[in-house]
Structure 1
Amino acid sequence: KISAAAAAAAAAAASATATVLGTSGATPSTVPGATTPAVGPAGAAAATITDVERSKKIAQLQEQIRAKLSGTLASVLPPPPPPAVQDKPKPLILDAEGRTVDGSGRAVVVPQLTPTLKANIRAKKRETTKNQQAAERAQTEEASESHFHDERITLKPAVRNKRALRFHEPGKFQQLAERMRMKAQLEKLQNEISQIARKTGISSATKLALIAPKADTHSNEVPSMEWWDSVILTDDLSTVDAQGTISIRESAITNLIEHPTQMRPPNESSRAVYLPVFLTKKERKKLRRQNRREAWKEEQEKIRLGLEPPPEPKLRISNLMRVLGTEAVQDPTKIEAHVREQMAKRQKVHEEANAARKLTDDQRREKKVRKMKEDTTLGVHVSVYRIRELQELQSKKFKVETNAKQLFLTGICVLFRDCCVVVVEGGPKQQKKYRRLMMHRVKWEEDMVKNADGVEIPNTCVLVWEGTTQRRNFGEFKYKSFPLEKSARDFFQKHHVEHYWDLAYSGAVLEASEDA
């Protein structure tokens, strides 16, 4: 369409131009060899008027053509570009003080260009590029998020419903706790059964599962059958065969051997024990000599560097003439006084050093206590003594109690007729010292006591038992007197060591029977 309209417009312009040229009386082209007639002044003026009219008509035709083209091509062709704005310098306006201001009268801050290094320029470009990249990434993320986000949709906050008070039924948590305890006990029993089954076989595990575990209670009731015998013994213990033996389950006896799990003793230390190295007398002297030599070298080095002043010559009356020489002859009295002053000074320094190293009374007491006390975390050594009579022997009672407290032993001394029991707890060194006191230092045979028949016999002290326990069962050493045997045993049973009393009292009964 555009090309057809342009062609039509061009044809119309050509025809109009031809018409103008044809009617304007243009001169024909000259022929070579022909002669042009001469033109006068009147003819020249007419030719000028004709050219002016012709140019006017051409301008009118061009306006008509432009109008026609604008009507047909205005909707198709883009508008002509605006004229380029010429970048001209703005006028410089100065105020009364000589400052640069704009048209409104505000001061204009002119940036000052300062020279900088290429490295700073490159760093600034890198920072600018990094900021631009970060901004582009942020825009990309926002665009991707906003692609799936609809602003018209709004979330309403959840409404919290009203909740009423709901009380638990009484006994609910007790039942839950009992159920959890039963479940834990069942799991423990099942683990024990599975471990035994892996070691000794399924049949032995089944039999051991029927055995009730030993209760950790101190009861005086004697069971009719021990738990370790319940596997092979029958329920009816009253039946006896012809040989006088109790019937047993033969099927319960197998050729399997049960190996108990090996456990580490509770008082065994986890750290490796190394034997200490003991040096001979010659080695100790050599080591001391080497240490003194190193200290002397260090002192000489400090003197050589000027850190310490050189020591004065060690003057004595014996080396006076050898050290001073002629000076000692010039004024012997003065030199002797000077030497004696040095000797007194050295003696004073020596005594002050000894006094500084000497322990005070409190430090000496703490050292003695530290040597007496022993570490009993891995095991406590216990000794049980039986004395025939101790109630009336005040001096012996004082020695027993005082030595136990001085050795920092814990325990108890139970006073009962014909059977006084002394229990002491502590370390091995403490027990050794106390054993020597009870068995050798105290002369028990010097005191004569009466037995049940009224016969005077010498007093005795016997070591009933000694061993180790995991923890202490008594506090500070003290005396307890009981009139009845049952009350004394109840006291030991309260501390879970009634076997101490059983051992001591049974020995006293046997000793009394032998004396009778």
Structure 2
Amino acid sequence: MSDRKRAWEGNGDTNASKKQKSTVTPSHATPSGGALSGDALIAQKRAEIAAKIAAMKKSALGGSPATTPASASASATASPSPPVAEDMARRIADVKKRVSEQQSKLSSRDNPYMAMPQNKKKAPPPPAEPAPQGAGLKMAAHPLLLDNTPTAPQSKKDRYKPMQPKFASIKANVRNAPIPPPAPTPTVSMETSANPYASAASAPTESGFDGAPKERVGRQFRFNPKGKYVQIANQVRQEAQLEQLKQRIAESARKAGLDSEFETLEKHIRREAPPEAEWWDAALLPSKSYNDIEEGMQKLNIRNADSPITLYIQHPIPIPSPMDKNKVVAKPLKLTKKEQKKMRKQRRQAELQDKRDRIRMGLIPPDAPKVRLANLMKVLTSDAVQDPTKVEARVRREVAIRKHQHEKMNAERKLTDEQRREKIDTKKHEEEKKGIYGAVFKVKTLSDPAHRFKVRKNAEQRSLTGVCIFHPNFSMVYVEGAAKFVREYKRLMLHRIAWTEPARERGEEDVELEDAEDDTTADGGKGKGKVAIEGDSEAAPISLEDNQCWLVWEGQLRDRSFNNFKPKSCPTDGAAKEVLGQKLAGYWDQTKNWKPEEEELF
């Protein structure tokens, strides 16, 4: 306690003693026994304040300090003050005790091991003191501070129950996390809270008493709600799709000419005035107006230094024609078999003579003798006579080695399946660079499965795209591709396929196809082959006696219209034109109205 406070307390004691003296002395009282004078009232109030301070000190220190004669006399004079101060101190102590009990209960609820009894023998619970009732300083504690709920008996299993964490470690345990109860706020009388000289132990704070420490609650993880980033991603995708849609609309409008629709309408409504000078004449006119011509030719920029007309001639850069790449190169003279053998013999003789000359000059070492079983005795005369078995074994081994090396070199030069396919595709692309050609065929009846198979398979093997349309009256075949492959397909349709011969039955002997000397057959092989029947065997057969195929049109195209070759069944003309598209719909009418020359004569 500071010196200032002690001095104040000493003054209080002296004031209390002075008040006691004044109360004892009968000279302060009025002769008629009425109210006290002003000095007497002040002394009485000071005595009451000193008694309250002494009682508060007693309750804070926990003991009964020695009473000074001034305080004793003050307590004797002011009879109602000591009981009031003692009652207030008892209530403050009771509130502190209940707050500590509440804190211990909260900690034991979070940790079950805190609630385990320390001794095996159960001690009888202390009798609960009845809470004093009243108002003002005699008012009881707040009902929230009183714990009237009976404690449930704890089983042996609950004693060793694992302690729950105070915060949720994962999102799934957020609902099961213990929620700390709100801290109790004890009610304190106005006099105690307004007293700045109360002891530090009993002085209230904002969160309660200092004797009741505030429980610290751990922070919980704040997980993002489900679907948050999914919504963000969907929003980004929608924005990207909207931008793409805007771009497509702008491109389509630009292609259709809708972007300049308003400008076109304005031009139609009101025609623009002619310019002062055309752009090709603006460089010759100094004032950019045709009025310069009326003034005279001297003012024009014709013979001046700034004139665009000079004595130099501008020659345009020559651009190669697109048909230059399709120039027909003169093929070399084709030799007969006898001439080819003679040329090969002469070339090999020249190479051998060159090699012999190099060996004679010592530039390269001579080759080892090539010994065979036929010339064994001529090459190895002495060795063969001495040990013919050993020499024969050596010769056979050398022959086997030469054969193995020869086969190995052939295998290394041989292309793999992938290289062979790549070579074929490269040749197809080179042929397509020369130009795209198309052809239209009209077939009277294309109901035979073997004919359908040949038409489709040969188009796929030659990288031809198009469509085969089956109509009740006739069938139309449209193909497009390289000129070489279209030419081969044309020979197939007009000469190789026997349109009047039906497909053979399954299980019969193989038949030899016509023109077996051609490169490929319908099934991709040479000579003989089997044809699969794809139609329905139960359907009525259609006569192929008058069946025939005609070439309706062939010519060069700008680009392809189909990505592959596909057959389509179209019962009506509208369906056939829809398959061909607006660009090729005219071919259907041309094929439908086309007639061979012999029919037109009659």
- TM-score class, shorter-chain normalisation, is 0.3 to 0.5
- Higher-Rg member (1/2): 1
TM-score between both structures, scaled by the size of structure 1? 0.42
